[in-house]
Amino acid sequence: MSETLLKVRGLKIGATIYPPDEKSRDIDIVHGIDFDLAPGKVLGLIGESGAGKSTIGLAAMAYGRGGVEITGGSVEVNDRDILQSGIRDVRHLRGAEVTYVSQSAAASFNPAKKILEQVTEAAILHGKFSRREAEERAVVLFGKLGLPDPENIGQRYPHQVSGGQLQRCMTALALCPEPDLVVFDEPTTALDVTTQIDVLAAIKEAIRDTGVSALYITHDLAVVAQVSDHIMVLRMGEMVEYGTVDQIINAPREDYTKALVSVRSVQHEEKQPTPHPVLRVEAVNARYKGTSFDVLKDINVELHLGQTLAVVGESGSGKSTLARVITGLLPPSAGKITFAGRELTPDLASRPLEDLRELQMIYQMADTAMNPRQTVGTIIGRPLEFYFGLKGAEKQKRIQELLDQIELGTGFQDRYPAELSGGQKQRVCIARALAAKPRLIICDEVTSALDPLVADGILKLLLSLQKSEDVAYLFITHDLATVRAISDSIAVMYQGAVVRYGPKSQVLSPPFDDYTDLLLSSVPEMRLGWLEEVIANRKMESAGN
Amino acid sequence: MRIPVAALIGLFFTTLFFLAAVFAPLIAPYGMAEIVGDVWEPPSDQFLLGTDSIGRDLLSRMIYGGQTTIFIATAATALSFITGSVLGFFAAVSGGWVDQLISRFVDLIMSIPSLIFALVVLSVMPTTITILIVLMGLLDSTRVYRLARAVAVDITVMDYVEAARLRGEKIGWIIFRETLPNALSPLVAEMGLRFIFAVLFVSTLSFLGLGVQPPQADWGGIVKENKEGINYGIAAALYPAYAIAVLCISINLVADWVLNRTTSLKGGRG
Amino acid sequence: MHPILTLVAQRLALGVLLLFAASILIFAGTSILPGDVAQQILGQAATPEALENMRRELGLNEPPLTRYLSWLGGILQGDLGTALTNGLDIAESLGARLSNTLFLAFWAAVISVPLAIFLGLLAVRYKDRWPDKLISGVTLTTISIPEFMIGYVLVYWVSIQFGWFSSVAIINDSMTIWQKLNAIAIPVMVLTLVVLAHMMRMTRAAILNVMQSAYIETAELKGMPMLKIIRKHAFPNAIAPIVNVVMINLAYLVVGVVVVEVVFAYPGMGQYLVDHVAKRDIPVVQACGLIFAAVYIGLNLVADIVSILANPRLRHPK
C-alpha cells in the first residue's frame, strides 16, 4: 500500500445553471483544490453552504450530482487517476474502494427493499464477499454500530427503523464492502443533538476499528473536531486553511477560520424578572384536531418585558406547538394565556387588532416567510399601512428608518426577496415584525437555517433591538449555544412538557434532571477529546447505576 | 428574456388563428352558407380548398368554422377558469368542511367521463351554443378546480400566508395579494391545455351531431358533413383535422414554455 | 386484520358509494334539468295527448325520488328498462354491443399498453436525445387531434390510398376471428394512437420521478451498472405509478371507444349511446351512461388499490 490513498491535484468543478428568463451559463463551484489523504486517516472538510465541500467529496468517487461536472485536475485513488478511467473502472471503484454515507439515510435507502439486502449489495456485486459472508459481516457491523438486535434488524424495511438507526445502517452499508475510503456527507446533521452524539461515537469507533480512511464533510466545526485527524477549511470553492485538528481549533491562522472557531461570541447579561410579565402561560394543554393525546401538557411559563425566554427542545418536543398556541393558530384545549395584562382569546379570528399587532412572529425559513412577488418595501410597509394607516412619504420615511435599524441602508426598498442573501432576508423579516411596534416577538428557530457567522450577526442585531425597543422575545430553538448567548430565562421541553424552567443561571447549573443533563452534555464542544469524555462519563454513570 | 424557437412558432400560429377567427367575414372569399359550386369540386383558383358536400366554398366554411370553434372554446375556457379557480382558491384558503364539500362534489363529477356526462345532459337539453358553452365550461372547471386548489394549498402553507393571517388580514387580501400572484403562471399554462381540450371537445360533440347545428359551420361539423367523401378519396373532411392539429400543437408549445419556466404541476384530460 | 386489507376494503366501499352517487347524478342529469322533457323528445309540434302519453310512459307525473328508486331497483335486478324508440328490452340490446365494445377495447389495450411502456422506457433511456424528442413530438401531435380525426386521417391514407384494411368495421357473429380482427384493425390503430401518447408521457414521467430518487444515486455510488439499477431499484418502485398510468388510460380508452365506434359504424355500446342521445331515448341514455361510469370508476378503483398494495409502508407496517 502506498503512502497516499487519495491524492487530489488542481481539482476544478463546474456546473451549468438555468436561471429563469436567462440563458443557461456555466459557473465554477470549486477552483483548484489540492490535498492528500493517507491510509487510515480522517480528513474533515468544513465550510458554510456553497463552499463546495460535498462536491469535492463526491469527486473522490468521480461523481457529479445533478449537472455538476469535474472540469479539471486529477483525483488519484490508490495511484490511479479516476478522472481518466473508463466508466467500467469507475464502477469497480464505487462501492468497492470508495463508499458514501449521505445526509439523509431515509431517502437514500430504497423503500421497497429490506435493509440487509441493501447493506450487502455492493460487497456481493463487486465479488468482495459471498452472500453469506457479507451478511455475517453486516450483522457484525450492525452490532458494532450499536444497533438493537443486530441479528434481525436487517430483515426490516427502511421505514420500520428510526432516523438515527437508519443513519447507522447507512454507515454499515458503506463499511460492508471493506472499502479503503468512506465519504461521510453531513451524516449527523439531520439528527437531533442527543441522537447525534451516539451516531457520531458509533461512526468514530467503526472508523477506528476497521482502519478505513474517511472524508468527513460537515458545516459544524465542533463535530468534525471529534472525528478527524486533519481539517481543511473551505470557502466558496477555495481552500482557506489546512492543518491538524489541534492547530485549526487551538491556533487558527486565517481570519475566516478564527471567526468559525470563535463563533457565538455574543455575550448577554441575565436580567432580573419584573413584577408584571408581558406574557403568562398558565396550565395550557393542547391537542391537534382528530387526535386523542395532548401535544402540550400543563405548560406554565412567564416572560417579562425587554427579556428573552428561550424554549429549548428537540424535534417533537412541542416547542413550535407552543408558539402556535400563543399566536392563536392552535386554540389550547385547557389553560389560559395572558398578554400585556389582557387574557388572550383562544383562536386567532376573535382577537382584537391590538393583540395581533403587539404579538409578532419571525420564522425559521426567511425564504418562505416573505411573498416572493412583493418588494422589501411592500413587505415592511404593509404592517405600517395596516396597523397605523401610514401612507405616502410618511410610510417611506418609516420604512427607511426600519431598514436602517436592521443595518441594510438605502436601495433595498425595491428589491425582491430572491435578490437578497439568507442573512438579509432574515433581517427584512425582523424589520417587518418591528414595524408593528410589538411588545413580544416569537422567534421560531430564526437562526437554524443560517450559516454560523451569519446567525451570529442576526443574534447581535436581535439583542441590540431588544435594548432600544424594549421588546420581549420568546426564542424557540434546539441549539443550546444560542440559548446560552441570548436568554434571560429558559424552559426545557421534552415530549410536550416543560421539564425544567427558570432563570438562565439556574437552569444551566447543576443539579440537573436526567433529560437536561443528557441534552446539555450532548452539545458538541469545540475541543479535542470531548466526545470520548462524554461517552466515558456516560458509561461510568450507567455502570454506577 | 429569451423565447425558444418552438414557443415562437407556437405564438405565431396561435395569433394567426385568433386573428383569422376575429376577422373571418373580411377574409372569407364567400359567405358561410352560400352555395357557390358543384358538390366536392377539387381545389382550384376559384375555390382554394374545393367545395363541400353541397357545393359551398370549403375555405370559407373552414374560416367561419374556425370562428365558431374558437369562440366556443374560448368562452368555455373562460367560464371553466373563472368557476374553477375561484372555487379552488376559496376551498384552499377556507379549508375545513367547505373544502371537503366542494372537493368531494368535484370528485363525484369527475367519476363520470366528461363526454358521457355531456351526452347524458344533451339527451334532454336543446343543443344551442349557450348550452354547449355552459356545459363544457362547468364540466371542465372540475379540472381547473383541482389544479387551482393544489397550487393554492401549496401556497397557503407558506409562512408568508400564515404571517398575513397573524397580522389580521382579511380573506380578500390573502387570496388576491398573497396567493393569486404566486399561482398565476401554472394557471396560465393550464389555461392553454384546457383550451385545447375545449376545442377537441366541441369538435367531437359537433361530429357526433350533438354540438353546433347546421348550417352554422364549425370544424367538427365540417368533418361530419364531408365524411362520406373520404370513401371516394376526397380529402375535404381532413382539413379541419389539420387545422385543429396546428392550433392545438401551437398552444401546447406555448403552454409548455410557460410551464417549464415555472412549475411541474399539470392537470389531466378526459 | 392486516391494516392494508382494511384500507383496501375502505377503498372498495368508497367505490361502491361513488357509483351510487354517480347513478344519482346521471338520473338527475336527465330528469331534474329545466324544461319539459316530453316536449324536448317530441318537439314543438306534439299534440297535448301525445305529450301526456309520453309523460306517463316516462313516469314524469311521479315525484323524482319515486322514479329514481324504481329505476335503481330495476337496475339492481338486472332490468335496465325498455327503449322508448323501439320498445325493446335495453339489457338484451346492450348485451351483444357491450361484448363488441369490450372486444375492441381489449385489442386496443393489448397493443397500446406494452407499446406505451416500451416507448416510455426508451424515452427515459435516451432522455433529451433524439429518440426522446421524436417520441414526444409524435405524441404531442396525437394529443392535439381529436380521435375521430385520427380515424379519418387513417382511413384516408391507410384504407383508401393504400387499400389496406376495411374503412368500416362492421362485425357479426358469423365472422371468423381473423375477419373480425381485419375489420377492427383501423379502429384499434386509432384507439392505440389516442391513448398511447398519454400513457407513454405519463410512464416517462413516472419512471423519471423514480430515477431522480436519492436511492438511485445510492445504487449508482455502489458501482451498479445502469440496467441493473433499473431492474433492481427503479422497477419495484415504478410498478405502482405505471399500473396507475395504465388504468387511468384504459379508463380514457372507454371514452375514446364511443367516438371511434361512430366513425367506423362499429356495432358497439358507444354508437348505441350516441344514436339514442340524438333520438332523446332517455332510458337507453341512462343505462349506457351508468355502465360507462361503472367501468370508469372500476378502473380508477383498481389503480388506487394497486397503489395501496404496492406501497411498502402500508405492506410492512411498523
Q: What is the pLDDT of residues A415-470, one digit of tens each?
A: 888 888 888 999 999 999 999 999 999 999 998 888 888 888 899 999 999 989 89
For residue C36, what pLDDT is reported? 65
Taking only residues 72 to 101 of chain A, the set having a beta carbon closer than 8 angstroms to any beta carbon of chain C reads 90-96, 99-100
How close, in Å, is residue A164 to chain B by CA atoms? 28
Nearest chain B CA: its distance from A324 CA (Å):
10
For A153-166, give one letter per residue: b (16+ CB within 10 A) or e.
bbebbbebbeebbb
A537 inside domain: no
CB contact under 8 A, B120 and C289: yes
Mean pLDDT of C301-315: 84
Judge: A20–B261 Cβ closer than 8 Å, yes or no: yes
Min distance B178 CA to chain A CA atoms (Å): 7
Please name the amino acid found at residue C108.
A
pLDDT of residue A212: 92
- B163/A351 touch (CB, cutoff 8 Å), yes or no: no
Instruction: Calculate mean pLDDT across residues A165-191.
Output: 91
Domain region containing C184: 92-277
- Give the model's pLDDT for residue C100: 87
Q: How many domains does chain A have?
A: 2
Indicate whether A312 and A187 sit together in one domain: no
Among the ranges given (A24-33, A362-371, C28-37), the one the predictor scored with the smallest mean pLDDT: C28-37
The answer, yes or no, to whether residue B270 has pLDDT greater than 50, is no
How many percent of chain C have pLDDT more than 70?
91
Per the domain annotation, does C198 fall within a domain?
Answer: yes
Rounded Cα gap, residues C233 and C210, in angstroms: 9
**Residue A277: cis peptide before it, omega within 30 degrees of 0:** no
pLDDT of residue B264: 35
Residue B70 has what pLDDT?
A: 92
Per CATH, the number for B5-267 is 1.10.3720.10
Q: Which of B13, B101, B120, B196 should be substituted to probe chain C, the one whose Cβ sees the most C Cβ atoms within 10 Å?
A: B120
Q: Which of C213, C221, C318 sits opposite A95 (nearest CB)?
A: C221
Within a domain: A228: yes
Q: If we measure between CA atoms, which residue out of A44, A49, A29, A46 comes closest to residue A454?
A: A49
- Compare all CA atoms of chain A with the CA of C234 and give the residue at the minimum distance: A110
> What pLDDT score does A545 carry?
59
Q: Is the dihedral of CA A260, A266, A267, A270 positive or negative?
A: negative
Domain with residue C123: its CATH number is 1.10.3720.10
| Contact residues, chain C, for A90 at CB < 8 Å | 223
DSSP labels, A102-149 = -S-HHHHS-TTS-HHHHHHHHHHHTTSS-HHHHHHHHHHHHHHTT-SS
Give the DSSP letter string of A377-394: HHHHHHHHHHHH---HHH
Any CB–CB contact under 8 A between C99 and chain B?
Answer: no
Residues in Cβ contact with A407 at an 8 Å cutoff, skipping those fewer than 6 apart:
A427, A461
Which residue in the set B163, B181, B261 is minimally distant from A361, CB to CB?
B163
Rounded to two decimals, the ipTM of the complex is 0.82
Domain total for chain C? 1
**Which residue stretches of A149-298 are H helix?**
163-175, 193-210, 221-227, 245-250, 255-261
Do residues A461 and A426 touch, judged by C-beta distance below 8 A? no
Q: Which residue has the higher pLDDT, C300 or C79?
A: C300
Tell me the pLDDT tens digit for each residue of B144-192: 998 899 888 888 888 999 999 999 998 888 888 888 888 887 788 788 8
| Helix B5-22 / helix B58-94 crossing angle, nearest 10 deg | 110
Closest chain B residue to C15, measured at CA: B111
**Residues of A near B (CB-CB distance < 8 A)?**
20-23, 327-329, 348, 351, 353, 356-357, 359-361, 363, 365, 368-373, 382-383, 386, 432, 436
Q: Which residues of C touch A125 (CB under 8 A)?
A: 222-224
**A334, A466: one domain:** yes
H or E segment at A1? none
B167/A436 CB distance under 8 A: yes
Closest CA to C270 of C247, C253, C283: C253
Option in C31, C35, C296 nearest B111 (CB)? C296
CB-CB contact of B37 with B47 (8 Å): yes
Q: Which residue has the higher pLDDT, B266 or B110?
A: B110
At A294-331, the pLDDT tens digits run 889 999 999 998 899 999 988 888 888 999 999 999 99
Helix (H) or strand (E) holding A44: strand A42-46
pLDDT band at B269; cut points 50, 70, 90: very low
Residue C40 located in a structural domain: no
**C273: nearest CA in chain B?**
B119
Assign residue A456 the CATH number of its domain: 3.40.50.300
Q: Is C217 on the interface with A (CB under 8 A)?
A: yes
Determine what percent of chain A falls in helix, strand and coil, rounding each to the nearest 5: 40, 25, 35
Query: Of A267-271, A277-281, C93-97, C223-227, where does mean pLDDT reach its minimum?
Result: A267-271
CB-closest option in A63, A109, A157 to C316: A157
Contact B241 C153 (CB under 8 A): yes
Q: Identify whether A540 is part of a domain.
A: no
Which of A27-36, A90-99, B206-215, C292-301 bottoms out in mean pLDDT, i.e. has the lowest? B206-215
Q: Give the pLDDT of residue A298.
A: 92
- Give the residue-averaged pLDDT of A80-109: 90
Question: Hey, is the C-beta of A289 within 8 angstroms of any chain C C-beta?
Answer: no
Mean pLDDT of chain A: 88
Which residues make beta-bridge pairs with A302?
Answer: A280
Burial of B239 (0-12, 13-18, 19+ CB in 10 A): buried
Of A143-152, A377-386, C46-55, the poorest mean pLDDT is in C46-55
Which residue type sits at B182?
N
C 229-258 → A contacts, CB under 8 A: 233, 236-237
Residues 6 or more apart from A300 whose CB is under 8 A from it? Answer: A281, A282, A283, A284, A498, A501
Residue type, C312: P
First vs last C-alpha separation in chain B: 35
Residue length of chain A: 545
Structure confidence at residue A500 (pLDDT): 92
Domain span including residue A159? 6-261
Q: What is the pLDDT of residue A265?
A: 60
Record: contact A157-C220, CB cut-off 8 A:
no
For the ranges A79-88, A200-209, A249-258, B261-270, the lowest mean pLDDT is seen at B261-270
Give the mean model confidence (pLDDT) for residues A23-51: 87
**Subunits close to B (at least 3 CB pairs below 8 A):** A, C
In a domain, A272, yes or no: no
User: A256 and A144: one domain?
Assistant: yes
Q: Indicate whether A266 belongs to any domain.
A: no
The position carrying cell 454515507 is A101
Flag whether A531 is in a domain: no
- d(Cα B270, Cα C252) in Å, to the nearest integer? 6
- Regarding whether A317 and A185 lie in a shared domain, the answer is no
- Subunits with 3+ Cβ pairs within 8 Å of C are A, B
Q: Domain check: are A243 and A294 in the same one?
A: no
Partner residue facing A159 (CB), from C221, C224, C313: C313
Q: What is the mean pLDDT of residues B62-77?
A: 91
Residues A257 and A283 in one domain: no
Q: Is residue C185 part of a domain?
A: yes
Which residues in A lie closer than 8 A to residue C213 (C-beta atoms)? 107
Nearest to A369 among B2, B160, B167 (CB): B160
Closest to B236 in 3D by CA, of A518, C152, A344: C152
The nearest alpha carbon in chain A to B158 belongs to: A368
Pairing of strands A308-312, A472-477: parallel
